[in-house]
Structure 1
């Protein structure tokens, strides 16, 4: 009766004959339907706190922005304010009569097909409203990225309560950081649309109420209430009809963000309860949050993010293999026996890991061997540690007989290739190498390296090892250094013979060698009678 008296004060001449309850946000507003003597119905809304009073003042600006031309184009009616009365610091508003009545979700899902289409048409008409309705009321305008950042900020605020279940925080954060999910075109959005906002007569939505949260932002917010519908077919039919009524192409990720909005509303309810120190709101929000976390863990929940979370794509622990993962075309084996090392007991040094083909086929093994795959194999030694000149098989698993039994042998070399099957022994000391530099090196096997005098002369002419450097080595009296220079010269000559086929003639190279010899003899003569090089450069003196 108090609301009826306030309605009489707000609208002069109103004679109430009855009062009925009206569906509304019970924690924000006290609402009622007042019947007068002429059969009209008036809706009255009274705020319960300052924030609710500000929302009603915002709605007043919105409804004033609905000009006669805009109202005429809408397929539904919009309320208008008939009067207001102040109660303390807050005002109570009385709205004119609107036909129709609200229905709950269960009734809507059982409604006729025409009603489903009209609900979709109503939502599409809201989203097609001119931006001027929002701009004239000085209401928020969000871009897609700004709206996503707003959601992230609200998530951070909810996380500070320390009472949001961790799985929900990870789920929401992952979705809010998914850039593709938030690629939408901002539209005029009702912001507080739900079944109580729709007044229905028969198969038509005749009026839409509750315009306190109008803004330009994510159209998915107006579909959040449909995620609670127990009949997925009803939701899908509304979404399909909405796409047909929209003047622009519908967003394919719209229902994903709508599900996120519906879930995240519980966290916002908790934050609000904390801010107002309303323990009843806090307890209610915590119960719903824990129930949501349990349902998602059990049933998976509605899909929101486009990309799955890391734990969703990770294999179960009991099916994982701790062995190294072989890359494509390679297979890691232990070099000593070709088997996996199940434990490290008794290992003095780490096992040598080598790569072969992933499928272990003999064809791939032959290819690797022909390409020089045996270059990385360790050389075999006898009991005294001396090289035997044989190659130790890398792995028995690399070459097997047709019955897949390991043979421990390398595959046979084609008949047109000749080889001794041995590797030439390495020179034991640099001194021996220097002493043998004047003579052709002796090697074993089928690949002897023979000196090429013409190639060596051409290399000298190209200054691959200049005469000055060789003379300096001789003047220092270091036979080891001179031997190293000769060795380098031989290698450079071999590369030169392979890469440069057109060089100077042998006679010209011989003249260069004679000139080098004359210069060397002159330097020796000067060094014998003149100042010692060690006097000028003490750092070159060899150790005693």
Structure 2
């Protein structure tokens, strides 16, 4: 109810008829889907703290940089901000709702190769965005070496906590010091890409949301979430479609860096918990790091380096090489692999037993903004990243004026209104998560959605329309006049 009341303040004339929760990171945001009297859908996202508020402000800046021409050229739709409401230092955002639904990774894999190929083409389109888009929004820009050095600095900070298993520290440091691994062409990247930020409709990506971490950096970051895919063929299809769409020389190491990013996200999760003194997050991070350390000790982990690191024993100590190993001084000390005098010729070595017991699928890797889960058991195709792609030379930049500092989103698509007037009819069939039991029965649905519908002249469902909002703090209304109830953008 509170988010519905905020939405009426952010978008004049909006009269909520139904309210339902939608998936989001509960540590950072309160979110809801609102259907108004005209059956238009709106997404409300309210930050819980300063850090998440800054992420939404960054997303607004990024979305303003997408000109109408850029939006029209993309094979997917982008969010558009319809209005905002400030409550103290935090600001709640109301977005025009986009088509499609979130599918988990297993559902995407089960959807088949056509969906995987479409995801590859979508990622290619993101990486083909002009770099001036990032420059115009004053968002982060990294060269390949700057990006690698930044990761090394983060690793040093994580090591100082004393909570990272030594084996993982050595493994990550070895990969970050493998200079050949970091020869890539920086591109515009989404930065927070995973299955929950892809809206799927009819087996294709209809929209991409969550543009809070846009930057120029390593394209591999947008593939990190694929480390959790249980079917290597799914990842292979994504990469093949990406390569074909980019039409450039392959980056043979993109999936190695992606696997490293998925593992390192666990350390970043722990560091964030320590910074905020979040005991639950700290405990989760430590447990996931222990699980990852055990998986790598047992199964070797996914390849993240070009030059393989030294082998370690179960205590994390280097295993001597053949040249360093002491020579056998007695014939009884020399035995054939797999042979035991007590068992005969059919016994297995310890390493063979580990391989036989290895699970067929990797553990689910982390998502950037939700509690990650330990990644990294091998899928059985360690060279799959050799088919990965790389980007060529960066796109040439053009001069662009900075947008005005206002809450009005410039560059709205001139065809948005006509396109979205028909969205109500198209959206009559409610998605699976919109059931009557999900909605607040106290929410009025008998209004006509106009400002004249209320006796006091205020829009029905506004902050003054019910006792639920009496306890709300004083707010400053900021609306984006150019966006109407059906102002979805492509």
Report the TM-score range of the alignment, normalised by the length of the smaller protein.
0.5 to 0.7
Q: 1:318 to 1:247 in 2, by over 3 A?
A: closer
2:311 counterpart of 1:311 = yes
Q: Partner residue of 2:196?
A: 196
1:292-307 residue pairs with structure 2 within 5 A?
292-307=292-307
Q: Partner residue of 2:16?
A: 16
Q: Partner residue of 1:104?
A: 104
Deviation at 1:230, TM superposition (A): 1.3
Q: Contact between 2:8 and 2:15, CA under 8 Å: does it hold in 1?
A: yes
Q: Contact between 1:168 and 1:293, CA under 8 Å: does it hold in 2?
A: yes
2:147 counterpart of 1:143 = no
In structure 2, the residue corresponding to 1:110 is in which secondary structure?
helix
Q: Partner residue of 1:230?
A: 230
Q: Contact between 2:178 and 2:305, CA under 8 Å: does it hold in 1?
A: yes
Separation in 1 of the partners of 2:71 and 2:307?
42
Q: Contact between 2:113 and 2:234, CA under 8 Å: does it hold in 1?
A: no
Q: Partner residue of 1:250?
A: 250
Per-residue Cα deviation, 1:411-439 (whole angstroms, up to 9, x for no partner):
xxxxxxxxxxxxxxxxxxxxxxxxxxxxx
Q: Partner residue of 2:154?
A: 154
Deviation at 1:248, TM superposition (A): 2.8
In structure 2, the residue corresponding to 1:46 is in which secondary structure?
strand
1:14-93 residue pairs with structure 2 within 5 A?
14-93=14-93
Separation in 2 of the partners of 1:230 and 1:311?
26
Per-residue Cα deviation, 1:376-428 (whole angstroms, up to 9, x for no partner):
xxxxxxxxxxxxxxxxxxxxxxxxxxxxxxxxxxxxxxxxxxxxxxxxxxxxx
1:61-460 residue pairs with structure 2 within 5 A?
61-311=61-311, 321-322=325-326
Separation in 1 of the partners of 2:101 and 2:250?
29
Separation in 1 of the partners of 2:248 and 2:36?
44
1:505-524 residue pairs with structure 2 within 5 A?
none
Per-residue Cα deviation, 1:438-493 (whole angstroms, up to 9, x for no partner):
xxxxxxxxxxxxxxxxxxxxxxxxxxxxxxxxxxxxxxxxxxxxxxxxxxxxxxxx
Separation in 2 of the partners of 1:104 and 1:121?
19
Unaligned runs of 5+ in 2: 331-490
Q: Contact between 2:116 and 2:235, CA under 8 Å: does it hold in 1?
A: no
In structure 1, the residue corresponding to 2:282 is in which secondary structure?
helix
**Equivalenced residues, count:** 326
Per-residue Cα deviation, 1:21-78 (whole angstroms, up to 9, x for no partner):
2222222211111111112111111111111111111111111111100001000000
Q: 1:81 to 1:241 in 2, by over 3 A?
A: same
Q: 1:317 to 1:124 in 2, by over 3 A?
A: closer
Separation in 2 of the partners of 1:193 and 1:126?
10
In structure 2, the residue corresponding to 1:311 is in which secondary structure?
coil
Q: Contact between 1:134 and 1:215, CA under 8 Å: does it hold in 2?
A: yes
Separation in 1 of the partners of 2:321 and 2:179?
30
Deviation at 1:322, TM superposition (A): 3.4
Deviation at 1:83, TM superposition (A): 0.1
Bigger RCO of structures 1 and 2 (CA < 8 A, at least 6 apart): 2
Separation in 1 of the partners of 2:122 and 2:26?
25
Separation in 1 of the partners of 2:301 and 2:275?
29
Q: Contact between 1:127 and 1:187, CA under 8 Å: does it hold in 2?
A: yes
Deviation at 1:229, TM superposition (A): 1.1
Q: Contact between 2:184 and 2:218, CA under 8 Å: does it hold in 1?
A: yes
Which structure features the higher share of helix residues? 1
Please tell me whether Structure 1 or Structure 2 has the larger radius of gyration of its CA atoms: 1
TM-score, reference length from structure 1: 0.58
Deviation at 1:319, TM superposition (A): 9.3
TM-score, reference length from structure 2: 0.64
Q: Contact between 1:81 and 1:96, CA under 8 Å: does it hold in 2?
A: yes
Separation in 1 of the partners of 2:249 and 2:141?
21
Q: Partner residue of 1:4?
A: 4
Separation in 1 of the partners of 2:207 and 2:221?
19
Q: Partner residue of 2:397?
A: none
Deviation at 1:250, TM superposition (A): 3.2
Separation in 2 of the partners of 1:169 and 1:84?
43
In structure 2, the residue corresponding to 1:310 is in which secondary structure?
coil
Separation in 2 of the partners of 1:159 and 1:89?
34
List, as ranges, runs of 4+ consecutive aligned residues in structure 1 with deviation greater than 2 Å: 247-250, 310-324
Q: 1:172 to 1:201 in 2, by over 3 A?
A: same
